[in-house]
């Protein structure tokens, strides 16, 4: 905790250590009583810890559970994952979002298999040398799998620690991050660091919730500066409000001889590595100008001439700061030219096995349902 004016460094260190002991002595028994049974808690295998931590970034536990179970059933070890092809990994990841995580997972598995003989590094530096593993994930693996004294800081612990230490200011700013990391480090016990870190995350997730924290049932309320000061509702300081931008796009299912056109999204695109129908931003609102824009943009993107647009649906979705209205059509290809690289014609029945963009999957389901209906 912060040193009070006139307090010596030695005394501050002693206070900090007795404060940390008090936190651990309240928190660990609470965790043993209240922790949820989660599939990744069944063992301290670094592969499972790593996989769960990557999946849990920006994603809720309840969403992650089935993905985690499918993933470890298909790739039980890091060596199995290292041998996978990217399309299979992306298909298993489909719907979890932030697909860069999946590509980096595969890249890191390959490094573990080829440079570490299939064993995860057991140092923070070694772990942080792997693709996609930053300070937080390295700390989680090091502490949970190897019981190393490594602090962690993720969404739940940021909130909990900001309240525990009454740390105000934008939690994403460098100075607040530094203070939070310092507190996370000061609180670590000498042993059972992995259990302690999991307990912090669990308390943040179950009790010290973003809105209306359940301070009445919190084992740390006597030790919590925000609770003592009545500031638990104002901490952590809210991030500056996100300004959203509205965007209009169109997706076109181009059909030819019972197959549909797909293109693979390139590096730097929203769904890099996944497949999608022809899709682009549109500016014309309706009528002839809109039809002409669709035709010319399909030609530009896919190199295909199309006609007879049929409106299927409008999907609304959000990606980062964009609020997207996506008008979806099907159209006939009139002149199947040679396809550009990273594109192909596929049968609608093959779509189920391909990793598709989020809206691509919705459209694929719609297309298959329409074909079933039209046969009935």
Of the candidate residues 48, 91, 103, 163, the single one contacting ligand SF4 (CB under 6 A): 163
Query: What is the rounded CA–CA span in Å between residue 166 and residue 109?
Result: 39
Q: Are strands 322-335 and 245-256 parallel, antiparallel or unpaired?
A: parallel
Nearer to ligand SF4, 121 or 165 (CB): 165
Phi first, then psi: give them for residue 35, nearest 5 degrees.
-65, 145
Tell me if 199 contacts ligand SF4 by CB under 6 A: no
Stretch that binds ligand SF4, among 48-56, 100-108, 137-145, 222-230 (CB under 6 A): 222-230
Closest by Cα among 140, 144, 162, 164 to 152 = 140
- Cα 189 to the center of its chain, rounded Å: 29
Nearer to ligand SF4, 208 or 367 (CB): 208
Give buried/exposed letters for 343-375 (b at 16+ CB in 10 A, else e): bebeebeebeebbbbbbbbbbbebbeeeeeeee
Give buried/exposed letters for 285-315 (b at 16+ CB in 10 A, else e): eeeeebeebbbebbeebbebbbeebeebeeb
Dihedral sign, CA of 347, 353, 355, 359?
positive
Tell me if 151 contacts ligand SF4 by CB under 6 A: no
What contacts 95, CB < 8 A, 6 or more positions away? 67, 358, 361
Helices (H), 221-357: 225-229, 287-302
Q: Least CB distance from residue 162 to ligand SF4, whole Å?
A: 9
Of the candidate residues 220, 251, 298, 302, the single one contacting ligand SF4 (CB under 6 A): 220
Nearer to ligand SF4, 198 or 358 (CB): 198
Nearer to ligand SF4, 162 or 294 (CB): 162
Tell me if 227 contacts ligand SF4 by CB under 6 A: yes
Q: Enumerate helices (H) and strands (E) in the chain, giving the number of each.
A: 14, 7
Tell me if 263 contacts ligand SF4 by CB under 6 A: no
Nearer to ligand SF4, 203 or 304 (CB): 203
Nearer to ligand SF4, 113 or 152 (CB): 152
Catalytic residue among 26, 53, 154, 195: 53
CA distances from 23 to 26, 29, 127, 239, 354 (A): 5, 11, 28, 27, 48
Of the candidate residues 92, 200, 224, 326, the single one contacting ligand SF4 (CB under 6 A): 224
Q: Least CB distance from residue 67 to ligand SF4, whole Å?
A: 29
Tell me if 34 contacts ligand SF4 by CB under 6 A: no
Tell me if 165 contacts ligand SF4 by CB under 6 A: no
Query: E strands, the chain, where?
Result: 245-256, 259-264, 275-276, 278-281, 305-319, 322-335, 343-346
Tell me if 158 contacts ligand SF4 by CB under 6 A: no
Stretch that binds ligand SF4, among 117-125, 179-187, 205-213, 323-331 (CB under 6 A): 205-213
Q: Least CB distance from residue 218 to ligand SF4, whole Å?
A: 3
Q: Least CB distance from residue 226 to ligand SF4, whole Å?
A: 5
Q: Least CB distance from residue 212 to ligand SF4, whole Å?
A: 10
Tell me if 161 contacts ligand SF4 by CB under 6 A: no
Stretch that binds ligand SF4, among 178-186, 211-219, 294-302, 368-376 (CB under 6 A): 211-219
Of the candidate residues 221, 259, 297, 299, the single one contacting ligand SF4 (CB under 6 A): 221
Nearer to ligand SF4, 138 or 201 (CB): 201
Tell me if 250 contacts ligand SF4 by CB under 6 A: no
- The total number of residues written for the chain in this structure: 376
Catalytic site includes residue 86? no
Tell me if 218 contacts ligand SF4 by CB under 6 A: yes
For 175, other C-beta atoms within 10 Å of its C-beta total 10
What contacts 313, CB < 8 A, 6 or more positions away? 328, 363, 366
How many chain residues interact with ligand SF4 (CB under 6 A)? 15
Closest by Cα among 120, 255, 237, 109 to 177 = 237
Give the active site residues. Answer: 53
Residues that bind ligand SF4 (CB under 6 A): 160, 163-164, 207-208, 213-215, 218, 220-221, 224, 226-227, 232
């Amino acid at each position: 905790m912060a040193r009070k004016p006139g307090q010596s460094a030695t005394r501050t260190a002693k206070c900090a250590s007795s404060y940390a002991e008090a936190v651990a002595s309240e928190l660990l028994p609470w965790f043993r009583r209240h922790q949820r049974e989660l599939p990744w808690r069944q063992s301290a295998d670094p592969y499972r810890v790593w996989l769960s931590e990557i999946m849990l970034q920006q994603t809720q536990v309840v969403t992650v559970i089935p993905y985690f179970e499918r993933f470890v059933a298909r790739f039980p070890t890091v060596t199995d994952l290292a041998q996978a092809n990217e399309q299979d990994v992306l298909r298993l990841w489909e719907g979890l979002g932030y697909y860069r995580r999946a590509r980096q997972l595969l890249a890191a598995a390959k490094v573990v298999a080829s440079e570490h003989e299939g064993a995860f590094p057991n140092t923070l530096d070694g772990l942080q040398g792997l693709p996609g593993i930053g300070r937080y994930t390295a700390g989680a693996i090091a502490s949970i799998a190897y019981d190393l004294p490594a602090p962690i800081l993720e969404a739940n612990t940021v909130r909990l620690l900001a309240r525990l230490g009454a740390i105000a200011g934008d939690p994403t700013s460098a100075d607040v991050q530094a203070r939070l990391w310092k507190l996370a480090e000061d609180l670590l016990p000498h042993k059972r660091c992995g259990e302690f870190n999991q307990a912090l995350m669990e308390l943040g997730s179950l009790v010290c919730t973003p809105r209306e924290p359940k301070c009445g049932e919190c084992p740390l309320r006597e030790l919590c500066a925000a609770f003592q000061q009545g500031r638990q509702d104002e901490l952590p300081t809210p991030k500056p409000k996100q300004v959203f931008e509205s965007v209009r796009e169109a997706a076109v299912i181009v059909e030819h001889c019972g197959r549909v056109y797909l293109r693979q999204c390139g590096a730097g695109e929203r769904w890099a590595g996944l497949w999608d129908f022809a899709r682009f931003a549109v500016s014309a609102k309706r009528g002839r100008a809109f039809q002409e824009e669709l035709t010319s943009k399909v030609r530009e993107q896919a190199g295909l001439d199309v006609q007879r647009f049929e409106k299927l649906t409008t999907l609304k979705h959000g990606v980062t700061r964009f609020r997207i209205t996506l008008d979806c059509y099907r159209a006939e290809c009139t002149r199947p030219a040679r396809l550009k690289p990273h594109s192909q014609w596929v049968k609608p029945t093959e779509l189920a096995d391909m990793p598709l963009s989020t809206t691509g999957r919705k459209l694929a389901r719609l297309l298959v349902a329409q074909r079933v209906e039209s046969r009935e």
